[in-house]
């Protein structure tokens, strides 16, 4: 096999709580990752040496060098396996950049899995997981590809089964940089002694996870808490209005995904047409997709 094509799926966060600062300078988090069918398409082709990144119609002006997470994933793979070959990676982007949908991390996970397949599985699951942790804390989640309750920096994962969810996504056309969001959140909470950022009153998403496992979707809106919402909505009030629009026109839950900028809604099948009509009437562009899983 000389080449392989693989899908790189996005995610949403059903809640994201930023908790205590760690000795390493990062913060513990608690979140529920849900993979969704919105995806990029990656083609990996063997070449004699080196790593080449191609991004057709690169409107977001993504880097093609070492700062691209797909490049970093390939570099780590070849360093670990000592394989004396190279790869050309073509990325067809559909996942918005800087939207809180995990596009870059998903690309990295897809490259690790694709290269491992292309070169006859030289790495086991644990070795792939260890490489993923060197790229980003949510890359391991994309290797699993199922709903996960995540703690630590996002790398401690507990997969669980969930019913298929109908998802609507709104992307405002601009990114929110995660580093900026964390720095602003730190400033917002700087009066808390000991630099402990305990937002949302120290709430937990464990109850939400238990309800999802039991296939109980009642009261989800109250349970989906995101530490970044107040901050992001204060800077971008239109995003708060989109969230409210979703809830008013048929969604049973809606939230910021990650640190933004995308807003997602969850909607029953029977309400999709109503929501689509409202979106069209108000000239709001959104994407309908669904979760991946059982």
- Is 11 part of the annotated catalytic residue set? yes
Angle at 106 between CA 102 and CA 108, to 5 degrees: 125
Distance CA 69, CA 84 (A): 21
**Count, residues in the chain:** 294
Distance CA 45, CA 58 (A): 19
- Which of 11, 19, 72, 93 is the catalytic position? 11
CA 27 to chain centre: 17
Distance CA 88, CA 130 (A): 23
**Residue from 164, 145, 174, 158 nearest 266 by CA:** 164
For 56, the token pair is 């057709």
- Which of 41, 138, 215, 268 is the catalytic position? 138
Please state at what angle helix 125-135 crosses helix 69-81, rounded to 10 degrees. Answer: 140
User: Secondary structure of the chain: what % helix, strand, coil (to 5)?
Assistant: 35, 30, 35
For 26, the token pair is 């990062």
Q: Which parts of the chain fold into alpha helices (H)?
A: 69-81, 103-118, 125-135, 139-144, 178-188, 206-213, 220-223, 229-235, 237-248, 272-281
Q: In sequence order, what are the beta bridge partners of 176?
A: none
Do residues 132 and 143 touch, judged by C-beta distance below 8 A? Answer: yes
Residues annotated as part of the active site: 11, 138
């Amino acid at each position: 096999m000389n080449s392989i094509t693989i899908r790189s799926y996005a995610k949403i966060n059903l809640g994201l709580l930023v908790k205590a600062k760690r000795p390493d300078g990062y913060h513990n988090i608690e979140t529920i990752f849900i993979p969704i069918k919105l995806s990029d398409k990656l083609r990996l082709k063997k070449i004699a040496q080196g790593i080449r990144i191609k991004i057709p119609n690169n409107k977001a002006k993504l880097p093609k060098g070492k700062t691209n997470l797909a490049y970093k994933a390939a570099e780590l793979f070849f360093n670990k396996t000592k394989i004396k070959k190279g790869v050309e990676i073509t990325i067809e982007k559909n996942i918005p950049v800087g939207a809180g949908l995990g596009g870059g991390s998903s690309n990295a996970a897809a490259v690790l899995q694709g290269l491992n397949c292309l070169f006859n599985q030289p790495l086991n699951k644990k070795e792939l997981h260890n490489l993923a942790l060197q790229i980003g804390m949510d890359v391991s989640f994309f290797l699993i590809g199922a709903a996960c309750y995540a703690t630590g920096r996002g790398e401690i994962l507990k997969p669980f089964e969930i019913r298929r969810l109908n998802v609507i996504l709104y992307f405002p056309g601009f990114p929110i940089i995660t580093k900026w969001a964390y720095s602003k959140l730190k400033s917002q909470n700087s009066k808390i002694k000991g630099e402990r950022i305990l937002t949302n009153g120290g709430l937990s998403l464990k109850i939400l996870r238990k309800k999802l496992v039991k296939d109980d979707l009642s009261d989800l809106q109250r349970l989906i808490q995101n530490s970044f919402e107040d901050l992001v909505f204060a800077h971008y009030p239109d995003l708060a209005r989109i969230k409210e629009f979703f809830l008013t026109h048929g969604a049973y839950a809606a939230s910021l995904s990650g640190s933004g900028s995308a807003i997602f809604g969850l909607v029953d099948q029977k309400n999709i047409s109503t929501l689509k009509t409202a979106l069209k009437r108000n000239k709001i562009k959104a994407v309908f997709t669904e979760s991946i899983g059982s």
